[in-house]
Amino acid sequence: MTPLDCLDLYADAEFYDVEFADRNIEIPFYRRHARQSNGPVLEVACGTGRLTMPIARDGVDVTGLDVSGPMLEQAARKSTAEGLKIEWIEQDCRDMRLSRTFAMVFSATNAMQHLLDMESACAFLRSAERALQPGGQLIIDVFNPNPAKLARTGATRYLHKTINLPYGESIRVETVSEYRADKQILHFDLFYMRDGQLLRTKRVNMRCFFPEELLALCRFNGLEVLKRFGDYNESVFCEGSPKQLLFCRKAVEACP
């Protein structure tokens, strides 16, 4: 399996919380399905608990798993300060060794796309399948590849987003991106700018999972896809959908 190349992206957990402080579009979706599952719930690649903690506030038994020690340390500090009972586990999602199984397992906001080779993706799906209770569901959340974005050549630098800082200033995040078709990898160089000064850079690689490929990967790794949505409002998945949200369960073997 290809070693994970994303750990440096998440070494500064405090900055991560600042960067994503205003992002909440997916929180109602995961809170709703976590409550409906009746728990327990496992979030894979939980980071600093941005989704895990709102689920715990709803009274759901939830566990957070991540490979990044700094992110989990930040998550533990925040949950302890709030008095939330959450188990935080530091493990690689490709080889999860858990003491119990779960009614719902999810990996949110493109985290699976840090798994850059087929072997890693399959290892994660098999590991997640083993973590499910009978009747439990796995939610996979990746972006739907956009041909126009994949066609960018890396020659044009464009605005990716703006980060609003707590004291009124903002950071402009600019990027160049290039799709490497031989490996299905979308590469980003991110430039964090404030008042024209470069604060930091990040290099990001994300594997693109195409819709039929993702369905086949699930089936190949013992998962049955129950439903598929195109966004967090649960719109019907179509060619122009921004997201691929798959609800899977352990496949039921046909009787001989």
Looking at residue 255, what is its pLDDT?
38
Classify residue 15 as exposed, middle or buried by CB count within 10 Å of its CB (0-12, 13-18, 19+).
Answer: middle
171 three-state secondary structure: strand
Give 163-178 pLDDT, tens digit per residue.
Answer: 999 888 999 999 999 9
Residues 68 and 92 both lie in one domain: yes
Same domain, residue pair 132 and 157: no
Range list of H helices, 175-230: 211-220
- State how many domains the chain has: 2
Q: pLDDT for 73-127, tens place per residue?
A: 999 999 999 999 999 999 999 999 999 999 999 999 999 999 999 999 999 999 9
The DSSP code sequence of 72-139 is HHHHHHHHHHHT---EEEE--GGG---SS-EEEEEE-TTGGGG--SHHHHHHHHHHHHHTEEEEEEEE
165 and 109 in a common domain: no
Q: What is the pTM of this model?
A: 0.95
Give the per-residue pLDDT at 221.
97
- Which DSSP string corresponds to 27-64? HHHHHHHHHHHTS-EEEES-TTTTTHHHHHHTT--EEE
pLDDT for the residue numbered 168: 82
Q: Are residues 183 and 69 in the same domain?
A: no
Domain shared by 36 and 93, yes or no: yes
Regions of the chain short of the pLDDT cut 50: 254-256
Looking at the structure, tell me whether residues 179 and 245 fall in a common domain: no
For residue 230, CA distances in Å to 10, 32, 234, 237 come to: 27, 17, 6, 4
Q: What is the CATH number of the domain that holds 77?
A: 3.40.50.150
Range of the domain at 158: 147-207
Residue 114 and residue 154 share a domain:
no
* Phi, psi of 31, rounded to the nearest 5 degrees: -60, -45
Same domain for 182 and 246, yes or no, is no
Pair (40, 108) in one structural domain: yes
Question: CA 108 from chain center: how many Å?
Answer: 3
Q: What contacts 238, CB < 8 A, 6 or more positions away?
A: 230
In a domain, 238, yes or no: yes
Q: Do the domain assignments include residue 1?
A: no
Residue 103 and residue 171 in one domain: no
For residue 109, tell me if it sits in a domain. yes
Report the pLDDT value the prediction gives residue 253, as an integer from 0 to 100: 54
Q: Are residues 196 and 92 in the same domain?
A: no
The reply to whether 172 and 202 lie within a common domain is yes
